[in-house]
């Protein structure tokens, strides 16, 4: 059916197609019960694209990704492509998508679902009710700065350099995304850098402070990255939104992920700059990989991908109520004791990927009744 809500599905490799097919069922439910239809195209990425086109992202696929409102990606990679040339490998397709779409703000929620609070590596009382968001700068900083590389210095020994480089504009745009998010959430933003020892940290702090003047209702605090790592495992509930650079964001978002207990539960979003209509390019994907060890066995946990679709509704389609429905349905299914293998606990009921997806749509039926 034709719709003004255009999405591109890129299931990818391994468990990608299995978890994405469960999102299809949720979309069918949205069509039937909420009378919201999406125009969904599907294409190849990663190893699947390499097998067909000899490249992990065909130009035509990138063109579609650039033209739709949101891309939903499953996962890429697997041992089958381990010996493929680096620039044709599955992961290269994913990196190219992020770069070409200029998806500079990576949103990584760390939400502890009540039924899974005991799966956290921290004490239940520290994480129960945790609901925070890390905004990581994704397209600049240490992972992209020039110069970089190994050379032989004047003493004839090897030396290596990586460069942390940010323009004012690159810092400002990601900080603004984080302020906007804090405004939609609990109104607190923690800007994280190392202004005590890094020049980039000094500029980051200065810009965050200046941008903060446009957001008088948001409480802005600055924190050094090392302290932030400590606070995340000491008292994580003090945070609402954290914004930080590419390197610190990489590390801190993985640390925050572990507070929630399982990789199979974690969604993410990557957003670009708004165009003149306020529409941002966006890609949504679960944090986990293609899990080749269980691919094709109907054992994967589809919830991270279903929750990534909920993020799509919230951030690309301004459909917070529908996103809440889906998030509540996921919570209820878990509260009812259903578990895929990765989150299995004693006394719970082991279900397949398909059964978990079916349970979510059944819960949606109950919520909408
Ligand atoms: P992985 O996330 O694929 O798997 C790690 C472990 O977690 C495995 O035991 C796997 O079975 C389990 N797991 C992951 N997701 C699960 C889910 N939804 N349900 C149940 N169990 C789940 O990480 P890996 O093993 O390091 O990487 C495998 C492949 O995935 C590699 O080729 C890697 O490059 C790729 N990868 C892709 C992405 C991505 O597409 N964004 C991210 C990470 C890794």
pLDDT of residue 7: 97
> Which of 5, 13, 96, 194 does the annotation list as catalytic?
194
| CA 61 centroid distance within chain | 21
Separation of CA 64 and ligand 1 centre (Å): 26
Which atom number of ligand 1 is nearest to the Cα of residue 302?
18
Give the domain CATH number at 334.
Answer: 3.40.718.10
Helices 90-100 and 59-67: crossing angle in degrees, nearest 10, is 40
Same domain, 206 and 304: no
Buried b vs exposed e over 69-92: b needs ≥16 C-beta within 10 Å?
Answer: bbbbbbbbbbeebeeeeeebbbeb
Tell me, using a 6 A CB cutoff, whether residue 264 lines ligand 1.
yes
Tell me, using a 6 A CB cutoff, whether residue 82 lines ligand 1.
no
pLDDT of residue 283: 98
**Residue bearing the bigger pLDDT, 10 or 368:** 10
Q: In terms of residue numbers, what domain contains 248?
A: 107-265
| Model confidence at 1: pLDDT above 60 | no
Instruction: Please give the share of the chain, as a percent, with pLDDT higher than 90.
Output: 89
Same domain, 252 and 288: no
Same domain, 238 and 160: yes
Which atom number of ligand 1 is nearest to the Cα of residue 75?
40
Closest Cα to atom 8 of ligand 1: 291
- Final residue in a domain of this structure, among 205, 230, 265: 265
pLDDT of residue 120: 86
> How many whole angstroms separate alpha carbon 355 and alpha carbon 77?
25
Task: Look at the pTM and tell me if it is higher than 0.85.
Answer: yes
> Which of 102, 180, 254, 298 does the annotation list as catalytic?
254
Q: Is 298 a residue of the active site?
A: no
Cis peptide before 99 (omega within 30 of 0): no
Same domain, 192 and 257: yes
Which atom number of ligand 1 is nearest to the Cα of residue 74?
40
Tell me, using a 6 A CB cutoff, whether residue 65 lines ligand 1.
no
Same domain, 261 and 293: no
Q: Mean pLDDT in the chain?
A: 95
Q: What is the mean pLDDT of residues 320-345?
A: 95
pLDDT of residue 136: 98
Which atom number of ligand 1 is nearest to the Cα of residue 91?
34
| Model confidence at 3: pLDDT above 90 | no
Same domain, 160 and 24: no
pLDDT of residue 2: 56
DSSP assignment, residue 13?
S
Q: Is 194 a residue of the active site?
A: yes
Render pLDDT for 77-97 as a digit per residue (tens, 0 to 9): 999 999 999 889 999 999 899
Q: What's the number of domains the chain is made of? A: 2
- Final residue in a domain of this structure, among 265, 284, 318: 265
Helices 246-259 and 225-234: crossing angle in degrees, nearest 10, is 10
> Which of 63, 226, 293, 365 does the annotation list as catalytic?
226
Tell me, using a 6 A CB cutoff, whether residue 357 lines ligand 1.
no
Q: Is 358 a residue of the active site?
A: no
Same domain, 119 and 248: yes
Render pLDDT for 10-50 as a digit per residue (tens, 0 to 9): 999 999 999 999 999 999 999 998 889 999 999 999 999 99
Same domain, 140 and 222: yes
Same domain, 113 and 250: yes
- Final residue in a domain of this structure, among 241, 265, 289: 265
Render pLDDT for 136-188 as a digit per residue (tens, 0 to 9): 999 999 999 999 999 999 999 999 999 999 999 999 999 999 999 999 999 99
Instruction: Please give the share of the chain, as a percent, with pLDDT higher than 70.
Output: 99
Same domain, 121 and 167: yes
Same domain, 111 and 260: yes
Residues shown for the chain: 369
Render pLDDT for 275-301 as a digit per residue (tens, 0 to 9): 888 889 999 999 999 999 999 999 999
pLDDT of residue 67: 94
Render pLDDT for 115-150 as a digit per residue (tens, 0 to 9): 898 888 899 999 999 999 999 999 999 999 999 999
Render pLDDT for 219-261 as a digit per residue (tens, 0 to 9): 999 999 999 999 999 999 999 999 999 999 999 999 998 888 7
């Amino acid at each position: 059916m034709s719709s003004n809500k255009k999405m591109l599905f890129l299931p990818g490799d391994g468990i990608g197609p299995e978890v994405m097919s469960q999102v299809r069922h949720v979309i069918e439910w949205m069509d039937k019960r909420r009378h919201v239809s999406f125009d969904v195209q599907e294409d190849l990425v990663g190893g699947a694209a390499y097998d067909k086109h000899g490249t992990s992202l065909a130009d035509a696929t990138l063109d579609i990704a650039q033209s739709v409102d949101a891309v939903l990606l499953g996962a890429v990679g697997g041992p089958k492509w381990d010996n493929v040339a680096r620039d044709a490998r599955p992961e290269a397709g994913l990196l190219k998508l992020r770069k070409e779409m200029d998806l500079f703000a990576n949103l990584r929620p760390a939400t502890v679902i009540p039924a899974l609070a005991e799966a956290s590596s921290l004490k239940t009382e520290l994480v129960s009710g945790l609901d925070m968001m890390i905004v990581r700068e994704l397209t600049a900083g240490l992972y992209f700065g020039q110069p970089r590389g190994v050379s032989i210095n004047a003493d004839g020994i090897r030396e290596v350099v990586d460069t942390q480089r940010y323009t004012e504009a690159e810092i400002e745009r990601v900080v603004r995304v984080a302020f906007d998010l804090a405004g939609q959430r609990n109104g607190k933003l923690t800007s994280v850098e190392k202004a005590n020892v890094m020049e980039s940290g000094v500029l980051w702090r200065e810009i965050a402070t200046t941008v903060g003047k446009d957001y008088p209702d948001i409480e802005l605090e600055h924190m050094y990255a090392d302290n932030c790592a400590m606070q995340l495992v000491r008292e994580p509930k003090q945070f609402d939104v954290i914004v930080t650079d590419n390197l610190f964001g990489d590390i801190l978002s993985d640390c925050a992920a572990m507070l929630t207990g399982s990789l199979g539960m974690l969604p993410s979003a990557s957003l670009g700059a708004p165009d003149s209509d306020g529409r941002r390019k966006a890609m949504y994907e679960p944090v986990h990989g293609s899990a080749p060890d269980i691919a094709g066995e109907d054992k994967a946990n589809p919830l991270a991908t279903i929750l990534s679709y909920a993020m799509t509704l919230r951030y690309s389609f301004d459909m917070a109520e529908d996103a809440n429905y889906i998030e509540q349905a996921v919570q209820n299914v878990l509260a009812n004791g259903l578990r895929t293998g990765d989150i299995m606990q004693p006394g719970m009921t082991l279900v397949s990927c398909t059964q978990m997806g079916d349970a979510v749509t059944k819960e949606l039926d109950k919520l909408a009744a």
